[in-house]
Structure formats: structure tokens, C-alpha cells
Amino acid sequence: MSTATRYLVIYNQSLGFKALIERAVGPRNIGNINTDITPERFPLKGVGVRRVLCRVEAYLDGEPSEQAAKRLTGAGHILASTGDLAAFLHDNPEEVKKWAWVLAISEDSRWTDSDGFICVPCADVYGTYRCFDLYDLRYPLYSGYGVLVSSE
């Protein structure tokens, strides 16, 4: 079992997808939101207040996301959603800052682009810079990259 710190994340999904993402990056970073991240491609898990305990688990060097997903769910973790990632970025930017990228790899956080490549939302913090982008899963992942997991 991981010894990573768990963070209680509480957010109101009724705010809407766009507002949650904009809140996560802050008003100075609205331009750092990938425009392919839409509510149609990455639906929220419902309406109302969502409470989850989240933590970031490291990828193993060179580990494909499918293998990471199996490893993490096999260890009893729940893969966090796009909404969870946005709320986590908002509430815990210092934790996100420790990683090259923090990714949401749950099934409902995967989108196949027009070239047929699977992409997932990812968050990054560098100083006051906050970014909510897409990561193309064709590219290798390393231990400096994290996967957001939760327990509901």
C-alpha cells in the first residue's frame, strides 16, 4: 500500500465542467486550458457535491498507462476522473507541482483524437503557471509523472 498523502477533495459538479476547469487554473491561466477538453469528451460523474480522497501515485519508468491502470486498480485504487483532477489542481497546486504531470486515466477520462490517438487530461504547475492539458498516451511515462487515484 502506498504511503502517499491523501487529500480530501470536495467540489460541486453543479458549477459545470467549464467553471471547474477555469477555477482549477485560475483567472491568470485561462489560456492554458486545452480547448479539446470539453464536457462532451470528458463528462462529470454526476451533479451536486462530490467528496473524494485523492492522492498521486507514480508511474513506473516506461510503464504504459494500461499497465499502470491495471496495477493501480489491482492494488485497490480507483482511477480519478477529469473533474477530480480539476478539483485536485485547484485545492492542491503544491502537490501537483511536485510532478512533471499529473494525469487522470479513468475510462471516462480518455478521448480518441482525430488521428486515432488516446489522450487524457493532465495538470501541471510551475510557479504561478497552471495548465490543464491533454497527454497523448503514445508517449512513454516515467516515475516523475503521476496518476491521480481516489477512494470514494
| pLDDT digit string, tens, across residues 10-57 | 999 999 999 999 999 999 999 999 999 999 999 998 889 999 999 999
Q: Provide Rg for the chain, Cα atoms.
A: 14
Cα–Cα distance, 73 to 83 (Å, whole number): 19
3-class SS of residue 72: helix
Q: How far is CA 47 from the centre of its chain?
A: 19
Looking at residue 74, its pLDDT comes to: 94
> Could you tell me which residue, 133 or 143, shows the higher pLDDT?
133
- Which pLDDT score is estimated for 46? 87
pTM for the model stands at 0.94
Q: Give the per-residue pLDDT at 2.
A: 56
For 59-88, the pLDDT digits (tens) are 999 888 889 999 999 999 999 999 999 999
Nearest one of 9, 1, 3 to 54, comparing CA atoms: 9
DSSP letter, residue 39: T
In terms of Cβ atoms closer than 10 Å to its own Cβ (0-12, 13-18, 19+), residue 13 is middle
The model's confidence at residue 1, banded by pLDDT at 50, 70 and 90, is: very low
Q: What is the pLDDT of residue 102?
A: 98
